[in-house]
Structure 1
């Protein structure tokens, strides 16, 4: 190998290595630019013989156009292509660089070439902006001689109807506090053009910036403002995002200075805000999700000028909601056509009206009326009075036709009327590039005729010209005008309101008067705020349990039942006992949200306490067991709880070294040689559970003393107020009544999670009645503070949370859309109403709940505590 050949190989290796390193390291640090970028013609050639070498040239090209650049090279220099770009075809031949933009591509393209010599490599980083024939962005002169090197303007034809952006050329040196908040957060200094000679940055606020931009008429405009989130997101360019190259997700040609800094947004992005925080957006990891920041913490800012789209209106959404997802087509009885027919042609499957199920329409009507509404549109039929061929005068024709339509009760309704201008606008839409509003959903509306339509206005009546309108302002009318009609009907959802007896009755009472009112037997207490006074049972002292004739009390039966209750032998794997979920140390519950059973499986419901189960007419949250004897056997067989089948368990019990003798002692009447039976197992467990009753509470003492001697000292003022709230403003006694603090009924309190992941249909799983969906047993509140978490699903572990939910009226999810026609959609109990309790009332109510809670009984009640006669068997 010759010396010359070796040198050539070494030079080529060096070139390959340098090019690889340059490609990895990104742009050259030089700030040179190309002044004459041009439009990118077919003959855009620049010899460059007498110009200094531009290391960062910039140029714009229209799709399909070509730019050519000739470089003056010496005999020892060579032009090389290092990075070819992605939006066009880059090519190097000799000393000529050529780039042809793709016919369909658009965006910023990065192309790297290098001039290579023996001892030097000069990298040239081309930034080429490929435009459509009508470019989206155009740079404008800002028109402010004092700030022209600080800010720039960029016209944007794509965002809404076209806007202009004002962007800082050094964003990190242009930082502001939000709105009129001063940038006084410790350790965070603002920098902006309003900083005075002493470095005082109090004026660095976005309000001051907006005011200045409008005063100076930047780019000939005076409507500058902070951008909304939807506007900023329109600038996000995923194809430009390159974290490894420090390139933000924004067009680098027009927004070259924009990097990963955060920018303030207008306070209108739909998120809940506290007083001192506002949304920001960046063009890196936070480019789609606004981040809340302290308003005094300086951030960068862009301004925008132009018509702002109100994205809360259907007419100004970025994309209208699909027709199939917007309406339910109803027959003349007001019932939905089959889902398979919802997209049929009107001539094949006619419908009479439309149920509007667009969420934005519902939200806007709520903002207008402060109530949720259901919205219906009457479908025009060419064969009757609803046809849109007829033109009517507002004085005579319109009222007569509407009266006749309502008399006919089309679609089962008699409240059809003219829409307001705002309501009819809910059917119109103006897209990003359109100049006029257009009527949407014409197929569902059965192709209404073009022309003027009557609308109701604040001043009387006006006209909308359909199917297109320049704006949403109704035309002024005269008595001589005639127009077509398109009718609407709305109805408010029936939402519960506060009990009228409680309204304006939430102040702290006169405690002397309150004590006098309760210093007697419960039958003479102030009337409770209940809905069913006839069936109301007043609160009182707990009675003693009774034992059924077919399973009478015996001490031996109780002892056997207690042993079985605590014995994991009853479960398939001998690892779960009844006491695993009903622990006396935990109020005879388990303290868990939902119980854990066989093989560590998570149950679906919270374990209820067994305290006072002797008084329950039905058992389980869904009342599927009619007696304690039935209930006792069900967890044993449940595959999630104890997972044992009864025949196998009875076989194991009969082979046990102790249980056969214990059963014979407890059930001597069944014969000395009889095997243990399923019935005996249930009877023993049930008898034990009937002996677990509440101890005497302070509330019981209060009732007894108030009844006998008018003594109310057992309760403090706060606790006595809580008793009054429980019975009255709190409406608790509607369901938690009587000595046991329960009506023993099934109620839906709004925690069904219908059609959701945590769905539990409650009583419906037992009786399959549509009205039973979501209903659960009203639990006794005796010893309530010993048995958290609360509700059938263990939803809440604090009583403050429980009271707050009831005070707010629980989760009243009224049906909407298709749910309105679902016969099994859960209906909230009519006893649930908003309470609007004050903080002091809530605290007093909780204090009262403590008084009905006694220390948990750890052992079975004795014969004396059960008030059993001596003649009751003790065998």
Structure 2
């Protein structure tokens, strides 16, 4: 044959499998055909499906100058060439699409044949279906998928970049982004390229005989991702190329239930089969994207029974003894015979979440472990009228696992022990080991209309069987308890409207003893708000101007620090309200501290010092930052040595403490403490209000809104439970929920001082005098806006009730009982913030005079 005629060489096809003759020359059917036609051209991209372990062969009609060569062997089977025959045997354990390259080689030409071989399990995952819509059959295909949940059908575009849509009913109107689709309604009018239009059309036309088409969820698209096929060098997307040959790197819209930013109305989630194949990315809904549709039952990923993978048994339950306490962790995985447990504490987050959705309260769930040797055994068949109530009464009287509230589970509750895998047809009982291998049979459940029976350990669906009076069944018992979560103070419920300001002024136009009763939990220990008193100076460190002057010099002198670069005033700057305006302070060697620097204003009135109260006096407190390695990092002996050899300090100390020769640690603390006691608040507008209201009933010092804020502070806001008295603090230690227990920012507070488990997370109640001068707030400087502070308190703070193993942790932090949701309105929050401004005076920049201190 002449070389010029090589292009007209035709292929003859004989495909032999282990069980039948298959067409392999560009065909996907499993029948036979005439393979000897010399007019058939060489197929350069043949496709075929094989079952695992099957073999296919193809004989090529070659000339005397042509040879057949294997260029690229397969990954999931054995490919070979012998003479003019190509053979491929699929591996017995392979699944997926394989690429094999062979070539017909002559003297001056090579024709490459790219085989695409789909290897299936005996029951294939994918099956091509008829679209049943002739007008769209060249644009869309249907593929049945047995792997996704209970089985779905995909509608996949054959030209995805030419089938683009805006999301939902949003119009594709972004500049320079044009949607590309062709849809008309029944009257022939052009339809907008939106996913809603596409879904409606597919359902109206009953694509593939179905009318429940929808956008897929993220888990469904991810179920198509095929890492074994992903190849950037050949532009192969991470999806099976045999059934989704048209699918490339384009982006596809997802249903909005995957949108993690639902607050942004104009965006919706997308995924692709390239770099974004494992993560949903939100896009503007008006920006056209490609679309796949899916038909079939959608998995409810919020239900334990429909998770992609059930939670491991060891992570699902805590095994408890008969007193209701956990077995040692070393025994949690032991056999029942070796370490018998009486009940299970269910610590699956999905169970907790689902019961919350049902009950609107957080619950703790416990399962009673059946014991074949006592009345909890699952061998017994009980009637619902007499048998079940009798056994329940006996079990609760015995207080098994320390409880007396055991009951039959509801159908939904028992279903939380069941699971249906992707390929399973029935629901099966999970965690049989933890439940001590309950007997097979029908189990009683409570239903909305009475009682029903579940067949365990497997059931076809989650619908319990209806029963009659003569039916009997076995029992698995459950107990649930609601978490004790704080609720709004009953006195403020439905009492959040704007008050009558005339009546409000009358209520406060008197001595504070006659003001409206505050909303506090302990009225006997309550101290009414009032005017600031004068500070006391202790007998062992009385006031003197020389000590104040010396203490002030020391306070502002970085000489006290090891490196000579950090002074007390570095963290307590008078221009910043005697704080530093930082979340946490920066100290020696630019180290970041752990806590916010509190103001020293009014420290003279504090019975304990520091956020964790580790100092009992100002004299003690003054020396601690000097020695702290994160703050000034200097040792007292070394500092005293440097002070005694200083050019100025020995004389100044001699003037302030004439009875001593050398500078001592005691003198250093006394001088610094004396200075700090002189930094007191200036009078505020609130002080003027209190004085005038008491003397003459004049309330004009506060505006209507500020006066309303005072009333909120004392009542609806419940602030005076902790911020009471003239100093706006009870000087106690409270846990307001910012412990970050076992987290990166953990701070155990008072527990670090006294090691008392009940002290975990407790910090000093700060004075709110001059509060607006001292942001950011809280011991960790968490918030820099008062709107944020008020919002957190209004919501009840971070009430992280213990769950799972935390319930048995004696050091788990407990939120103060005085913290409750306030449910303040926006107007109330604004009024409260206005009031806080009235107890804030301009910050004193210099020590108070003897007259201001009340010293005569």
TM superposition score category, shorter chain reference: over 0.9
CA contact (8 A) 2:259 2:269 kept: no
CA contact (8 A) 1:451 1:466 kept: yes
The answer on 1:440 being equivalent to 2:430 is yes
* Cross-structure match for 2:165: 176
Q: 1:590 to 1:159 in 2, by over 3 A?
A: same
Q: Give the 5 Å matches for 1:549-698.
A: 549-670=539-660, 674-698=661-685
Identify the match of residue 808 of structure 1 among 795, 798, 821.
795
The answer on 1:366 being equivalent to 2:356 is yes
* Cross-structure match for 1:539: 529
The answer on 1:723 being equivalent to 2:710 is yes
Identify the match of residue 855 of structure 1 among 825, 836, 842.
842
Identify the match of residue 243 of structure 1 among 232, 248, 256.
232
* Cross-structure match for 2:26: 35
CA deviation after TM superposition for structure 1 residue 159, in Å: 1.3
Q: 1:46 to 1:776 in 2, by over 3 A?
A: farther
TM-score by length of 1: 0.91
- Find the aligned partners of 1:406 and 1:268 in 2 and give their Cα distance: 43
* Cross-structure match for 1:27: none
- Find the aligned partners of 1:240 and 1:322 in 2 and give their Cα distance: 30
CA deviation after TM superposition for structure 1 residue 278, in Å: 2.7
CA contact (8 A) 2:164 2:289 kept: yes
CA contact (8 A) 1:182 1:202 kept: no
CA deviation after TM superposition for structure 1 residue 128, in Å: 2.3
Q: Give the 5 Å matches for 1:455-604.
A: 455-604=445-594
Q: Deviations over 1:823-844 (max 9, x none)?
A: 1000000111111111111111
* Cross-structure match for 1:189: 178
Identify the match of residue 157 of structure 1 among 139, 142, 146.
146
Q: Give the 5 Å matches for 1:64-463.
A: 64-73=53-62, 79-92=68-81, 95-116=84-105, 120-195=109-184, 202-269=191-258, 271-274=260-263, 275-463=265-453
CA contact (8 A) 1:47 1:71 kept: no
CA deviation after TM superposition for structure 1 residue 359, in Å: 0.7
CA contact (8 A) 1:56 1:125 kept: yes
CA contact (8 A) 2:191 2:197 kept: no
CA deviation after TM superposition for structure 1 residue 575, in Å: 1.4
Q: Deviations over 1:258-306 (max 9, x none)?
A: 1222222223237351344332221122212222233343322212222
CA deviation after TM superposition for structure 1 residue 470, in Å: 1.0
Identify the match of residue 738 of structure 1 among 725, 730, 736.
725
CA deviation after TM superposition for structure 1 residue 35, in Å: 3.4
- Find the aligned partners of 1:236 and 1:188 in 2 and give their Cα distance: 27
- Find the aligned partners of 1:502 and 1:182 in 2 and give their Cα distance: 47
CA deviation after TM superposition for structure 1 residue 507, in Å: 1.3
Q: Deviations over 1:473-532 (max 9, x none)?
A: 111111111111111111100111111111111111222222222222222221111111
CA deviation after TM superposition for structure 1 residue 549, in Å: 0.3
CA deviation after TM superposition for structure 1 residue 617, in Å: 0.2
- Find the aligned partners of 1:39 and 1:591 in 2 and give their Cα distance: 77
- Find the aligned partners of 1:559 and 1:127 in 2 and give their Cα distance: 91
CA contact (8 A) 1:221 1:305 kept: yes
CA contact (8 A) 1:425 1:472 kept: yes
Q: Secondary structure at the match of 1:476?
A: coil
Q: Deviations over 1:67-110 (max 9, x none)?
A: 34444455665555444343333444555444333333322223
Structure 1 residues not aligned, in runs of 5+: 1-32, 870-875
CA deviation after TM superposition for structure 1 residue 369, in Å: 0.5
CA contact (8 A) 2:26 2:43 kept: no
- Find the aligned partners of 1:609 and 1:122 in 2 and give their Cα distance: 84
CA contact (8 A) 1:421 1:457 kept: yes
- Find the aligned partners of 2:497 and 2:829 in 1 and give their Cα distance: 12
Q: Secondary structure at the match of 1:249?
A: coil
Q: Give the 5 Å matches for 1:793-804.
A: 793-804=780-791
CA contact (8 A) 2:556 2:569 kept: yes
- Find the aligned partners of 1:281 and 1:401 in 2 and give their Cα distance: 54
* Cross-structure match for 1:872: none
Q: 1:198 to 1:314 in 2, by over 3 A?
A: closer
Q: 1:248 to 1:225 in 2, by over 3 A?
A: same
- Find the aligned partners of 2:294 and 2:56 in 1 and give their Cα distance: 33
Q: Secondary structure at the match of 1:660?
A: helix
Q: 1:724 to 1:521 in 2, by over 3 A?
A: same
- Find the aligned partners of 1:590 and 1:50 in 2 and give their Cα distance: 90
Identify the match of residue 764 of structure 2 among 759, 763, 777.
777
Structure 2 residues not aligned, in runs of 5+: 1-23
* Cross-structure match for 1:6: none
Moved more, 369-378 or 123-132: 123-132
Moved more, 585-594 or 512-521: 512-521
- Find the aligned partners of 2:412 and 2:461 in 1 and give their Cα distance: 12
- Find the aligned partners of 1:494 and 1:201 in 2 and give their Cα distance: 59
CA contact (8 A) 2:185 2:191 kept: no
CA contact (8 A) 2:709 2:831 kept: yes
Q: Deviations over 1:822-873 (max 9, x none)?
A: 110000001111111111111111111111111111111111111111xxxx
CA contact (8 A) 2:454 2:464 kept: yes
CA deviation after TM superposition for structure 1 residue 185, in Å: 4.6
Q: Deviations over 1:176-202 (max 9, x none)?
A: 333344444555433323157999764
* Cross-structure match for 1:18: none
The answer on 1:708 being equivalent to 2:699 is no
* Cross-structure match for 1:13: none
Q: 1:196 to 1:159 in 2, by over 3 A?
A: closer
CA deviation after TM superposition for structure 1 residue 779, in Å: 0.5
* Cross-structure match for 2:10: none
RMSD: 2.2
CA contact (8 A) 2:685 2:838 kept: yes
Q: Secondary structure at the match of 1:648?
A: helix
- Find the aligned partners of 1:829 and 1:717 in 2 and give their Cα distance: 32
- Find the aligned partners of 1:122 and 1:245 in 2 and give their Cα distance: 19
CA contact (8 A) 1:87 1:106 kept: yes
Q: Deviations over 1:377-419 (max 9, x none)?
A: 1111222221111111111111121112112211111111111
CA deviation after TM superposition for structure 1 residue 46, in Å: 6.1
Moved more, 704-713 or 660-669: 704-713
- Find the aligned partners of 2:157 and 2:190 in 1 and give their Cα distance: 17
- Find the aligned partners of 1:93 and 1:452 in 2 and give their Cα distance: 62
Q: 1:355 to 1:197 in 2, by over 3 A?
A: closer
* Cross-structure match for 1:756: 743
CA contact (8 A) 2:159 2:246 kept: yes
Q: Secondary structure at the match of 1:56?
A: coil
CA contact (8 A) 1:375 1:490 kept: yes
Q: 1:270 to 1:360 in 2, by over 3 A?
A: farther
Q: Deviations over 1:343-402 (max 9, x none)?
A: 122222221111111111111100111110001111112222211111111111111211
CA contact (8 A) 2:549 2:675 kept: yes
Moved more, 343-352 or 293-302: 293-302
